């Protein structure tokens, strides 16, 4: 059984300009990014790349409609590399654009076409949550199915992942926190995954320690403190991405997908709503094993008894951003049942990574408790 793999080369630059020079960006590159990043960091460099501004195709999380619109507009353009400069939406889009013969992204998510890489992929993350620069996963809302689907395949792994701390400066505090909580959830779900092993645990532990240290300092010193630790948080997100790229994530993500897909709740925010409720249920069902190890680690960092780590995490995260009731997003009581059905029927890949199996009734009960 494979324990660990990292096929992506990692690089780090102080500035975007240094990256552009080293990587020799040219007319042979398709760059998917945002105007708010292009204007301050790219425009003055007069690069000859083919630029796609993601926000021209819609707001929020990636969808099949958004991806196919971009695909139609770049059809016929000649390029050798796809370069993603942005957060999870941009990265998830860019990963599909390296595939050979792609006409409709739904075909890729449903695997009704061969998944074959035809272009090089370079990813420059500008948020500190997805870790997607080192994973083989792309996620999108499939509008006809009213949920999110994931494509996991090494064909969409980045050839190059690049960390540039200055690109994180413009991320608003709310999205910074949700992003970092998402990275934290990646690390803890990876830690208790059935595929967890000594190699992935090293990355999980490092990510957990960094994120909680930065969060604690922000609580003490205020939101501006985050600018002192931009590189640390990008690295923490990367560590978590390396870990879950080898182990997968579980029920927190599985339960969040119907909420995100139906009500367009950003990925990190949706995961935050379910995190401690899922781990408390894990704790009730199987209190010994990997979760016991995780709780011991968290207790030492948080300086609380191991039995109180999830209450303490709710308190820490709540000092940064409050958790919301599911009903606040527009979720209806009848959807408690339908969301539980959706998880059981369409998220089997994620449920296979659970620390301990959750039944449909248990999943429904978690939705009910958070409604």
Could you report the per-residue pLDDT of 242-273, keeping only the tens digit for each?
Answer: 999 999 999 999 999 999 989 989 889 999 99
Confidence at residue 19, expressed as pLDDT on a 0 to 100 scale: 98
Q: Which residues on adjacent β-strands are paired with residue 150?
A: 139
Across 132-172, the runs of DSSP E, i.e. the strands, are 137-142, 147-152, 160-163
Q: Judge whether 147 and 141 are in contact, CB under 8 Å.
A: yes
pTM over 0.75: yes
Confidence at residue 2, expressed as pLDDT on a 0 to 100 scale: 86
Could you report the per-residue pLDDT of 2-38, keeping only the tens digit for each?
Answer: 899 999 999 999 999 999 999 999 999 999 999 999 9
| Residue 280 Cα distances to 5, 86, 191, 274, 295, angstroms | 30, 33, 15, 10, 11
Q: 321: part of which helix (H) or strand (E)?
A: none
Could you report the per-residue pLDDT of 59-103, keeping only the tens digit for each?
Answer: 888 999 999 999 999 998 999 999 999 999 999 999 999 999 999
What's the per-residue H, E or C state across 260-318? HHHHCCCHHHHHHHHHHHHHHHHHHHCCCCHHHHHHHHHHHHHCCCHHHHHHHHHHHHH
Confidence at residue 268, expressed as pLDDT on a 0 to 100 scale: 92
Could you report the per-residue pLDDT of 107-151, keeping only the tens digit for each?
Answer: 999 999 999 999 999 999 999 998 999 999 999 988 887 778 889
Q: How many CB atoms lie within 10 A of CB 259?
A: 25
Confidence at residue 230, expressed as pLDDT on a 0 to 100 scale: 97
Using the CB atoms, write b or e for 346-363: b if 16+ within 10 Å: bbeebbebbbbebeeebb
Could you report the per-residue pLDDT of 219-229, keeping only the tens digit for each?
Answer: 999 999 999 99
Instruction: For residue 363, name the pLDDT band (cuts at 50, 70, 90).
Output: very high
Rounded to 5°, angle at Cα 125 from 190 and 269: 55
Could you report the per-residue pLDDT of 311-352, keeping only the tens digit for each?
Answer: 999 999 999 999 999 999 999 999 999 999 999 998 898 999
> What are the φ/ψ torsions at residue 324 (nearest 5 degrees)?
-110, 155
Percent of the residues in the chain that have a pLDDT greater than 70, as a whole number: 100
Percent of the residues in the chain that have a pLDDT greater than 90, as a whole number: 92
Confidence at residue 61, expressed as pLDDT on a 0 to 100 scale: 85
Confidence at residue 210, expressed as pLDDT on a 0 to 100 scale: 98
| Residue 325 Cα distances to 47, 144, 221, angstroms | 46, 26, 28
- d(CA 237, CA 252) in angstroms, rounded, equals 17
Nearest-10 Cα torsion for 203, 207, 210, 212: -140
Could you report the per-residue pLDDT of 141-188, keeping only the tens digit for each?
Answer: 888 877 788 899 999 999 999 999 999 999 999 999 999 999 999 999
Confidence at residue 349, expressed as pLDDT on a 0 to 100 scale: 86
Q: How many helices (H) and strands (E) does the chain have?
A: 15, 8
Tokens read off for 47: 């690069």
Confidence at residue 60, expressed as pLDDT on a 0 to 100 scale: 84
Confidence at residue 144, expressed as pLDDT on a 0 to 100 scale: 81
- d(CA 129, CA 136) in angstroms, rounded, equals 15
Confidence at residue 214, expressed as pLDDT on a 0 to 100 scale: 98
Confidence at residue 273, expressed as pLDDT on a 0 to 100 scale: 97
- d(CA 338, CA 341) in angstroms, rounded, equals 5
How far does Cα 110 stand from its chain's mean position?
20
- d(CA 231, CA 362) in angstroms, rounded, equals 39
């Amino acid at each position: 059984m494979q324990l660990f793999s990292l096929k992506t080369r990692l690089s780090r630059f102080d500035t975007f300009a240094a990256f552009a020079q080293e990587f020799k960006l040219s007319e042979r590159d398709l760059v998917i990014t945002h105007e708010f990043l292009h204007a301050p960091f790219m425009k003055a460099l007069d690069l000859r790349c083919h630029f796609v501004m993601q926000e021209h195709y819609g707001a929020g999380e990636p969808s099949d409609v958004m991806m196919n619109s971009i695909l139609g507009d770049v059809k016929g353009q000649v390029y050798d590399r796809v370069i993603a400069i942005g957060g999870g939406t941009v990265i998830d889009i860019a990963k599909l654009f390296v595939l050979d013969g792609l006409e409709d992204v739904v075909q890729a998510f449903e695997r009704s076409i061969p998944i074959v890489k035809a272009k090089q992929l370079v990813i420059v993350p500008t948020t500190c949550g997805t870790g997607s620069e080192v994973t083989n996963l792309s996620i999108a809302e499939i509008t006809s199915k009213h949920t999110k689907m994931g494509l996991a395949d090494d064909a969409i792994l980045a050839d190059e992942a690049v960390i540039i701390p200055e690109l994180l400066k413009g991320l608003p505090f709310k999205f910074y926190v949700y992003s970092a909580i998402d990275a934290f959830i990646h690390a803890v779900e990876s830690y208790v995954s059935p595929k967890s092993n000594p190699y992935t645990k090293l990355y999980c532990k490092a990510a957990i320690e960094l994120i909680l240290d930065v969060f604690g300092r922000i609580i003490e010193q205020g939101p501006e403190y985050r600018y002192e630790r931009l590189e640390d948080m990008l690295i923490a997100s990367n560590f978590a991405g390396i870990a879950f790229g080898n182990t997968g994530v579980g029920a927190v993500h599985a339960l969040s997908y119907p909420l995100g897909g139906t009500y367009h709740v950003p990925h990190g925010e949706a995961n935050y709503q379910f995190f401690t409720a899922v781990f408390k249920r894990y704790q009730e069902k199987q209190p010994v094993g990997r979760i016991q190890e995780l709780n011991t680690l968290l207790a030492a960092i948080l300086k609380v008894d191991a039995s109180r780590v999830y209450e303490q995490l709710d308190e820490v995260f709540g000092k940064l951003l409050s958790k919301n009731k599911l009903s606040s997003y527009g979720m209806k009581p009848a959807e408690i049942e339908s969301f539980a059905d959706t998880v059981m029927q369409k998220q089997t890949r994620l449920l296979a990574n659970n620390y301990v199996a959750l039944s449909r009734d248990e999943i429904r009960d978690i939705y009910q408790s958070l409604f």
